Amino acid sequence: MSSSESSAPEVQFEAKVLTVSDGVVAGTREDRSGVALCEHLGANGFRIVEHRLTADGSEEVAHALAHMAYNFLGLIVSTGGTGFSPRDMTPEGTVRILDRRAYGLSEAMRAVNPLGRLSRGVAGTRGRALILNVPGSTAGAIEMLDAVLDVVPHALSLMAGEHEPHPFS
């Protein structure tokens, strides 16, 4: 086995990333947080199967997330639109399509940093997809994702119908 093979994490689950930004869609801003999330998830054993862009707005986010979650077992992370700008409507669009909320995940993400208190991001499930909203800043997106990444594989296993022991017992 080569050294690159031995250091690569085992791929356990698939992930999708949704970048929510009027500027990125218009081509006036670079998608730094979406690219960073894809790289970070890949480095942590997730196989990225889609990276999509959408404009800000509740309807746009709801539409994109519903399509991404259709027949998908895995993690969907949206980045952007969780703040207080008038166009920041990612949480509102996400809530429209969720089957169940995961309050503990969104609370843990907000608790990681004092600026997290300004995030309105939500977490929950649609079908067998786990959806997390993180900020549009690269550092904030990675930091909030890392706050819950250790429990995501267990949540996805449960959603797949597996009955494995709790990892922290």
Summarised one tens digit per residue, pLDDT across range 62-75 is 999 999 999 999 99
pLDDT at 118: 92
Q: What is the pLDDT of residues 76-86, one digit of tens each?
A: 999 999 999 99
Domain range enclosing 18: 3-159
pLDDT at 3: 44
User: Per-residue DSSP letters for 34-64?
Assistant: HHHHHHHHHHTTEEEEEEEEE-SSHHHHHHH
Instruction: Report if residue 92 sits inside a domain.
Output: yes
Instruction: Report if residue 146 sits inside a domain.
Output: yes
**Total domains, the chain:** 1
pLDDT at 12: 82
Give the CATH number of the domain where residue 25 resides.
3.40.980.10
> What distance in Å separates the CA atoms of residue 97 and residue 73, rounded to the nearest whole number?
16
pLDDT at 162: 84
Q: What is the pTM of this model?
A: 0.91
150 with 45: CB under 8 angstroms?
no
Instruction: Report if residue 166 sits inside a domain.
Output: no
> What distance in Å separates the CA atoms of residue 120 and residue 27, rounded to the nearest whole number?
25
User: Measured between alpha carbons, how far apart are the two ends of the chain, in Å?
Assistant: 33
Instruction: Report if residue 47 sits inside a domain.
Output: yes
Q: What is the pLDDT of residues 91-148, one digit of tens each?
A: 999 999 999 999 999 999 999 999 999 999 999 999 999 999 999 999 999 999 999 9
pLDDT at 164 over 80: no
Q: What is the pLDDT of residues 21-64, one digit of tens each?
A: 999 999 999 999 999 999 999 999 999 999 999 999 999 999 99
Is pLDDT larger for residue 163 or for residue 7? 163
Instruction: Report if residue 111 sits inside a domain.
Output: yes
pLDDT at 60: 98
pLDDT at 6: 46
Instruction: Report if residue 169 sits inside a domain.
Output: no
